[in-house]
């Protein structure tokens, strides 16, 4: 039996003309169970009758119970679907600076262990990048070699392979589970990977073992925000810049960093972190950096990832400490949320393999939770597990500060738009910020490096 079906109550629906089983646009669903909020899902759904478990022939009535199954989307790069205002998909991080846990241990627990566990659920193998990343990758000179730092499941590898003539990227990631997906990542046109596999290297974002000057470009998409201290984020940017080839003449080596934004929503006015904290804290900053971006204490958050699994694999875990927003609310919401760095959430409720869900890894202290199982017939009873991943949400200007801190720390001169080549600096390394901006809840910065 396919375990990925979940029982929901139909609140309202809008069928597409000519489609009987596929549903687009918001299908409001009720996940049931005490304390669980209703959520809207923007994924395509296949509907099934609860009783017969056969495909629904007719439109379900409002209020009817149906089984739904999210269908993985094949592309998210097109125009944004008509999403309602995003709802807060996060809970505040419980980390405090004075906690004894080291940043390394915390990231191990709250990022790496979670990704290893959910890695097989990154089922999506075809992917269109956000416009900014697509534009960046298509601007890469032909026959280049690049680094994808924090490549995850390698979804950008085929984008480069197919989109930028003759160029390739090497994937670096901490998770062997994700890399094992990345190494055989197929592209839009379904081409086989040249040579049978992509090149993957296991290492963390601060890996500095690359020879200097070997890469023509480097990207780090939706990765740096998983590091839990500023020095570690800056260090990861150093490691991105370090192996770039420094040319005295154009074309120079380009890079792009893409991170999740603190400022969320269409007009950037929605402060996700702010909403995640109690009202009295809204405008309270823990301190501000005299040089720029104001730091908010709620920039560090935990974002849930929902796994469906077979009931018999249930692993008893203590519920997380009390937090101010309901984790289940976030979990339901993330289904429809186009997540950080262009990650689609369509995988959030995909089928679980037995061997995945059976290992939420108690030994490594992974935080996970068994949500109240919905009232579903015995044999269909799925188990929802919620894993929380740590994110640092970047405020406006913060990414620029971190890039500049990394570059100047490595001896780069920050080059302005109009400054002329200066003979006295001959041989000196420079970095120029080409563009920085905001795209779909993320901040990005594109730059290039070279020598005078």
Partner 1 sequence: MVRLITHNMLTCHVKNCTKDNFPLVFENVELEVRPAEANLDFIKRFIPKLEWDALVQTARSIGEDSLPEQMPEDKATLESEEFLQKLHHVLMEIHVEEGQMKCRGCGHIYPISTGIPNMLLAEHEVGR
Decide: is 229 part of the binding site for partner 1 (CB under 8 A): no
x/- contact string, 7-46, with partner 1 (CB under 8 A)? ----------------------------------------
The DSSP bridge pattern shows strands 168-173 and 200-202 to be: parallel
* Shortest Å, Cβ 388 to partner 1: 23
Two structure tokens written together for 40: 């809207």
Out of 34, 78, 84, 196, name the contact with partner 1 by CB under 8 A.
196
- Which is closer to partner 1, CB of 166 or CB of 278? 166
Residue whose structure tokens are 């090149």 = 199
142 binds partner 1 (CB under 8 A): yes
End-to-end CA distance of the chain: 64
Q: CB of 214: closest distance to partner 1 in angstroms? A: 5
Residue 214 makes contact with partner 1 by CB under 8 A? yes
DSSP string, 279-329: GGGTT-EEEE-TTSPEEEGGGEEEEEEEEEEEGGG----PPPPP-SS-HHH
Question: Minimum Å distance from CB 160 to partner 1?
Answer: 12
207 binds partner 1 (CB under 8 A): yes
For 439, the token pair is 């795209």
Q: Using CB under 8 A, pick the residue from 35, 63, 213, 437 that binds partner 1.
A: 213
Map residue 262 onto helix, strand or coil.
Answer: coil
Nearer to partner 1, 237 or 371 (CB): 237
Q: From the CB of 191, what's the least distance to partner 1, in Å?
A: 10
Q: Tell me the two tokens of residue 418.
A: 């109009």
Residue found under tokens 């939706």:
222
- If one asks whether residue 365 binds partner 1 (CB under 8 A), the answer comes out as no
User: Given the complex with partner 1, which of 211 and 322 has the nearer CB atom?
Assistant: 211
CB of 207 to partner 1, least distance (A): 6
Query: Any residues with CB less than 8 A from the CB of 18 and at least 6 apart, and which?
Result: none
Task: State yes or no: residue 387 binds partner 1 (CB under 8 A).
Answer: no
Cβ nearer to partner 1, comparing 174 with 329: 174
62 binds partner 1 (CB under 8 A): no
> How many residues make up the chain in this entry?
452
- Those residues with Cβ within 8 angstroms of residue 59's Cβ, 6 or more apart along the chain or in another chain: 13, 15
Site track 172-191 with partner 1 (rule: CB under 8 A), x = hit: --x-x--xx--x--------
Q: Which of 124, 144, 220, 352 binds partner 1 (CB under 8 A)?
A: 144
Of the candidates 206, 201, 210, the one whose C-alpha atom is nearest the C-alpha of residue 224 is 206
Nearer to partner 1, 80 or 250 (CB): 250
The smaller minimum CB distance to partner 1, of residues 66 and 140, is found at 140
- Interface with partner 1, residue 166, by CB under 8 A: yes
Q: What is the DSSP string of 40-103?
A: EE-SEEEEEETTT-SBPSSPPPTT-EEEEEEEPPS---SSPP-PPPPP---EE----TT-SS-H
Question: Does residue 104 interact with partner 1 by CB under 8 A?
Answer: yes
- When asked if residue 50 is in the footprint of partner 1 (CB under 8 A), the reply is no
- CB atoms under 10 Å from CB of 395, counted, come to 21
Considering only residues 325 through 364, tell me which ones interact with partner 1, judged by CB under 8 A: none
Closest to 448 measured CA to CA, from 255, 257, 189, 283: 255
| Of 330, 404, 335, nearest in space to 371 by CA | 330
The two structure tokens encoding residue 71 = 């269908």
Taking the complex as a whole, the smallest distance from the CB of residue 196 to partner 1 amounts, in Å, to 5
Token couple for 246: 């420094």
Does residue 451 interact with partner 1 by CB under 8 A?
no
Q: Write out the residues near partner 1 by the rule CB under 8 A.
A: 104, 142-145, 166-168, 170, 174, 176, 179-180, 183, 194-204, 206-211, 213-214, 235, 243, 245
């Amino acid at each position: 039996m396919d375990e990925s079906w979940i029982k929901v109550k139909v609140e309202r629906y809008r069928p597409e003309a000519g489609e009987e089983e596929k549903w687009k646009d918001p299908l409001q669903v009720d996940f049931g169970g005490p304390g669980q909020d209703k959520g809207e899902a923007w994924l395509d759904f296949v509907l099934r009758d609860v009783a017969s478990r056969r495909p629904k022939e007719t439109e379900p009535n409002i209020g009817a119970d149906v089984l739904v199954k999210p269908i993985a989307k094949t592309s998210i790069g097109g125009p944004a679907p008509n999403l309602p205002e995003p709802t807060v998909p996060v809970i505040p991080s419980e980390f405090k600076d004075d906690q004894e846990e080291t940043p390394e241990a915390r990231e191990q627990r709250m990022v790496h262990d979670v990704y290893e566990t959910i890695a097989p659920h990154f089922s999506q193998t075809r992917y269109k990048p956000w416009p900014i990343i697509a534009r960046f990758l298509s601007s890469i000179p032909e026959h280049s070699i690049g680094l994808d730092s924090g490549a995850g499941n390698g979804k950008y590898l085929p984008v480069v392979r197919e989109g930028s003539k003759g160029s390739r990227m090497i994937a670096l990631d901490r998770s062997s589970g994700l890399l094992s997906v990345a190494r055989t990542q197929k592209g839009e046109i379904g081409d086989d990977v040249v040579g049978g596999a992509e090149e993957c290297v296991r290492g963390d974002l601060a890996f500095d073992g690359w020879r200097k000057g070997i890469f023509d470009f480097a990207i780090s998409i939706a990765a740096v925000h998983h590091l839990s201290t500023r020095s570690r984020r800056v260090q990861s940017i150093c490691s991105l810049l370090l192996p770039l080839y420094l040319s005295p003449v154009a074309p120079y080596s380009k890079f792009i960093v893409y991170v999740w934004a603190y400022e969320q929503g269409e007009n950037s006015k929605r402060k996700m972190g702010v909403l995640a904290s109690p009202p009295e804290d809204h405008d309270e900053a823990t301190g501000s950096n005299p040089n720029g971006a104001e730091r908010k204490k709620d920039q560090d958050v935990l974002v849930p990832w929902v796994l469906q699994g077979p009931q018999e694999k249930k692993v008893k875990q203590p519920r997380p400490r009390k937090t101010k927003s309901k984790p289940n609310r976030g979990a339901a919401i993330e289904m429809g949320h186009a997540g950080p760095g262009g990650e689609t959430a369509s995988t959030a409720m995909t089928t679980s393999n037995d061997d995945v869900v059976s290992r939420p890894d108690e030994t490594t202290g992974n935080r996970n939770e068994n949500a109240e199982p919905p009232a579903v017939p015995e044999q269909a009873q799925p188990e929802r597990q919620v894993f929380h991943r740590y994110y640092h949400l970047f405020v406006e200007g913060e990414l620029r500060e971190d890039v500049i801190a990394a570059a100047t720390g490595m001896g780069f001169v920050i080059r302005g738009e109009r400054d002329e080549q200066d003979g006295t600096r001959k041989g000196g390394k420079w970095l120029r910020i080409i563009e920085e901006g905001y795209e779909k809840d993320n901040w990005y910065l594109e730059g290039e490096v070279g020598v005078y």
